[in-house]
Amino acid sequence: MDQWISQIEQWFHQQPVEQIYVAVAVLALTVVLFVLFSLLKTSKSNTIVLAGLNGSGKTILFYQLRDGSPHQGTVTSMEPNDGTFVLHSELGKKGKIKPVHLVDVPGHSRLKPKLDEFLPNAAGLIFVVDALDFLPNCRPAAEYLYDILTKSSVVKRRIPVLILCNKTDKVTAHSKEFIRKQLEKEIDKLRTSRNAISTADISDEFMLGVPGEPFTLEQCRNKVTVAEASGLTGEVSQVEQFIREHVKP
Amino acid sequence: MLEQLLIFTRGGLILWSSCRGLGNALKGSPIDALIRSCLLEERSAETSFAHDAYTLKWAFHNELGLVFVAVYQRILHLLYVDDLLAAVRREFAEIYDPKRTSYDDFDETFRQLQKEAEARAEEMKKSKQAGRAPAVPGKKQGAGGAAQRDAKQKGNGAGGGGSGKDDGDGDGDSGKGRWLANGNGNGQEKGARERSHAPPGSVVVKGKENGGPQAGAFDVNKLQKLRSKGGKKSDNTKPASKGGEPKKIVKKNRVWDDSPSESRLDFTDPVDERGEGIVEAVAADQGESMMDKEEDLSSESEAEEEDEEVEGAKPGAKKKGWFTSMFQSIAGNAIIEKSDLQPALKALKDRLMTKNVAEEIAEKLCESVAASLEGKKLGSFTRISSTVQTAMEEALLRILTPKRSIDILREVHAAKEHGKPYVIVFVGVNGVGKSTNLAKVAYWLLQHNISVMLAACDTFRSGAVEQLRTHARRLQIPIFEKGYEKDPAVVAREAIQEASRNKSDVVLVDTAGRMQDNEPLMRALSKLINLNSPDLVLFVGEALVGNDAVDQLSKFNQKLADLSTVPNARLIDGILLTKFDTIDDKVGAALSMVYISGAPVMFVGCGQSYTDLKKLNVKSIVKTLLK
């Protein structure tokens, strides 16, 4: 052991000084370049958040995306479902596919604060709406959507939102156009009533849309789109498209 | 027999179900109702939950995050359910794998366990039956006797009975009497039972704190008793009041000291007949109501100070070696036992009680937190006290977060579109501040350009109508009054009709204060609410109340449910907490009221002027409670 060390020291002292300086400089440069690249490469998160009212089908959608089948059904979630995986439909694909971190946040009103834990890291948000039972829940759904769209973490980082009309396999489900119009109307009304009070514990931090004009989803600063899906039968192609769009491989 | 046994994760995925192929053959999805109204409301320490025709029992496996639920018909008293749940939990924990989602091989194990449990129960039933004389003729012997023994077994009457928990009913019935009624209930036809149960059953979900299958069972008898009692009471009060009236005129004023008696006691200004008066109307701006001001929370340090007494939850518990316990707390492998939790929970319960939380509520909360922590592994470098603290904080946050929207303005606007006035009724016991806070709410609504009308339905207390008249004059809003000694329900109805005629947006109805035990007054209140179906029933409670809050709210809800004429009884929709400025940090009344009724706190009154109305700041309350 000592022999090796002494040998190395001898060899070291034999080199000319410039070479050592050059070697060190090259090393430092590579390190700096590496650090710069890793910082500049926008480390985009791969988190997609599933949110929506109680009973809209988020947990089924989560398992559909993960395993391709809803298993034996679900009950009201008490805790968020969290998983990082490659989408089931893409398992067969070749090549390097980036796994998606999917989070399903419970929709029960008492558990709403949990959403705030996951929003700061989200690359996209899927707002699941029950297309079957839409009209009785229109106002709570619109309120929840309004709360999400006015949160500072959503607006500042321009998180894209997909409004997903779930349960479209049933005959009496509403169309996505109808749902979109209804939500826009409700949010318009909410705008006027919410902006009349400066809320103390509702975090109404941003004004939605253009005052004076009726609200449309295009007026949001972040991109909001509407799509249809059915969690039970597995018709989730539009969802997967959205996910792939925003979690770049 | 057991209808279904379900195993699911806390995230919502069903892992195994005992009846497959039929889908969810249960009526009305009782599991969802259980989760929503029991487990998420921090009542997971109760032993059973009743919903429609089913009773549900559950068990947790906190380490793996699993929930086991057994559903069976309410009229059956299956004794082996608890054993079965424990056995199932044991077996399933061994085969559980977070990656697997289907456990078909568990069917065999389950059937075996079920047979064993049933056999054990049969044995115990037979041995008990042999040693007992028949209790009551005409009763299902097996069920009754076994159920009674079961209650004795559990010690605190938990089991299938509500014996220990009928605080809300305030019954002093002996246990025997209760089981008698229970047996009678069993003997009745199912149809009749369902009818009498439907209202209490659905109310159990919302209003009552207890799992009340048995409370529902003898409600029939209780109602009969109450009816006869109530009849007697009203008979007593009527002649008394009638006797009082003519007496008043003859009675001489009592003179306490030697001052000359006043010649007239009626100080109402004669000009006041039309409501205009000498008193000037307030310039409608006393400033912004505090509802609209942002609360600036002082940024206190988040780190809580550890209590000296809670330190070392281990001494006195199991005799683990010091080194083992240190090592385990560092490596994070210690499994939390109930005995470890006790000292920390006791300290927490005492702390809550010093903050004026009702004793019963503190007890229930602590049990619920214990149920959710038992069996979990301690994280590394954490002490039991901090785990318990975090769990309790989460639980409190969950309870105080409103379940329904408290945005009144939005609802007012919605009602405006329909062209109907939005009716708010203020109820509560005597002297809590209904009329004062009604005026504050009117002021706040006025500031948002909503037209308000007051309805003076307190036709009992002297000066109540004048009080409202003064407020109406100062705020310059119309008031509908009919004087004293009129039926408040009819006055309210006419007030609402008047409001829709003159296009007022909101009608605020003031009622007389009444004690929760006063049967005829509660009936009158129920009649008012049934007749007028208000949009919001606000219970006004003072923050100074202690253990009585539990009694007040549960009795109010119960009476509203019992005496309602429609199947979906209107219960208390919101709470208005008053006199908040008089308590410094003893804010526990808010927690007791919200826990017992499930209704959110919509307003907080913190002073006696018009602007002293705030919203409840959940985070600061939780922080104050746990300080």
Residues A55 and A1 in one domain: no
Higher pLDDT among residues A71 and A106, named by residue: A106
* CB–CB contact B65 A79 (8 Å): yes
A81 contacts B13? CB cut-off 8 A:
yes
Residues A28 and A54 in one domain: no
**pLDDT class of B27 with cuts at 50, 70, 90:** low
Q: What is the pLDDT of residues A178-212, one digit of tens each?
A: 888 888 888 887 777 665 544 443 444 566 666 66
Residues A31 and A94 in one domain: no
Residue type for position A59: T
Residue B612 burial (C-beta neighbours within 10 Å; 0-12, 13-18, 19+): buried
Q: Distance (Å) from the C-alpha of residue B221 to the closest C-alpha of chain A? A: 36
* Contact predicate A86/A95, CB 8 Å: no
Interface of B with A in 46-85 (CB under 8 A): 65, 67
Question: Measured between alpha carbons, how far is residue A206 from residues A146, A147, A152, A217, B311 in Å?
Answer: 10, 10, 7, 15, 46
**Residues A172, A58 within the same domain:** yes
Q: In whole angstroms, what is the distance from residue B454 CA to residue B471 CA?
A: 9
Q: Which of residues 446-485 of B touch A (CB under 8 A)?
A: 448
Q: Same structural domain for residues A5 and A27?
A: yes
Same domain? A118 vs A226: yes
- Using pLDDT thresholds of 50, 70 and 90, give the confidence band for residue A61: confident
Give the pairing of strands B2-9 and B14-17: antiparallel
Q: Do B401 and A112 touch (CB under 8 A)?
A: yes
* pLDDT of B295 above 60: no
Whether chain A has a CB inside 8 Å of the CB on B614: the answer is yes
Q: Going by C-beta distance under 8 Å and a sequence separation of 6 or more, which residues neighbour residue A64? A: A70, A88, A231, A234, A236
**Cα–Cα distance between B517 and B512 in angstroms, integer?**
14
Residue B419 has pLDDT above 60, yes or no: yes
pLDDT at residue B145 is higher than 50: no
Q: How confident is the model at residue B425 (pLDDT cuts 50, 70, 90)?
A: very high
Helices (H) and strands (E) in chain B, counts: 20, 13
- Residue of A75, A189, A201 with shortest CB distance to B615: A201
What are the percentages of helix, strand and coil residues in chain B, rounded to 5? 50, 10, 40
A10 and A95 part of one domain = no
Å between B86 CA and nearest CA of chain A: 21
| Residues A31 and A51 reside in one and the same domain | no
How far apart are the C-alpha atoms of B588 and A165, rounded to whole Å? Answer: 42
Residue B494 has which token pair?
Answer: 């006419």
Interval B39-72: pLDDT, tens: 777 777 677 777 777 888 888 887 778 888 888 8
Give B 358-397 residues with CB within 8 A of chain A.
Answer: 397
pLDDT at B424: 92
Helix (H) or strand (E) segment spanning residue A48: strand A47-52
Q: What DSSP element (H or E) covers B455?
A: strand B452-456
ipTM for this prediction? 0.70
pLDDT category of residue B339 using cuts at 50, 70 and 90: confident
How many Cα atoms are found within 13 Å in the side-chain-facing hemisphere of B72? 17
Q: Are residues A30 and A101 in the same domain?
A: no
Global confidence as pTM: 0.66
Q: Which domain holds residue A23?
A: 1-40
Residue owning tokens 């989200």: A122
Do the Cβ atoms of A71 and B40 come within 8 Å?
Answer: no
- For residue B154, what is the enclosing H or E element? helix B141-154
Query: Residue A115 is part of a domain; what is its CATH number?
Result: 3.40.50.300
Quick one: A117 and A177 in the same domain? yes
Residues 6+ apart with CB under 8 A from B543: B577, B578, B579, B580, B582, B583, B586, B587, B589, B590
Rounded to an integer, what distance in angstroms lies between the CA atom of residue B528 and that of residue B500?
18
A90 and A52 inside one domain = yes
Highest mean pLDDT among A164-178, B165-179, B295-309: A164-178
How does DSSP assign A103-153, residue by residue? EE---SGGGGGGHHHHGGGEEEEEEEEESSSTGGGHHHHHHHHHHHHT-HH
Query: With contact defined as beta carbons under 8 Å apart, do B14 and B68 qualify?
Result: no
Q: To the nearest whole angstrom, how far is the Cα of B548 from the nearest Cα of chain A? A: 26
SS3 at position A179:
helix
Is residue B107 less than 8 Å (CB to CB) from chain A?
A: no
Q: Considering only A190-199, B204-213, B502-511, which range has the smallest mean pLDDT? A: B204-213
- Residue A145 sits in the same domain as residue A232: yes
Pick the residue with more confidence: B304 or A53? A53
Domain count, chain A: 2
| Span A113-161, pLDDT tens digits | 788 888 888 888 888 888 888 888 888 888 888 888 877 777 777 888 8
For helices B384-400 and B338-354, give the axis angle rounded to 10 degrees.
50
Contact A73, B368 (CB under 8 A): no
Phi and psi angles of residue B506, each rounded to the nearest 5 degrees, phi first: -130, 140
Contact A72 B14 (CB under 8 A): yes
What distance in Å separates the CA atoms of residue B12 and residue B26, rounded to the nearest whole number?
A: 18
Q: What is the mean pLDDT of chain B?
A: 72
Backbone angles phi, psi at A122, to 5 degrees: -80, 140
Residues 399-438 of B with CB under 8 A from A: 399, 401-405, 407, 409-410, 413-414
* pLDDT, mean of residues B455-482: 88
Q: CA A125: distance to chain centroid?
A: 4
**Higher-confidence residue: B134 or A222?**
A222
Beta strands B54-61 and B66-73 are antiparallel
Judged against a pLDDT cut of 50, whether residue B307 lies above it is answered with no
At residue B144, does pLDDT exceed 60? no
> Which domains, ranges and CATH numbers included, belong to chain B?
2-123 (3.30.450.60), 331-400 (no CATH), 408-626 (3.40.50.300)
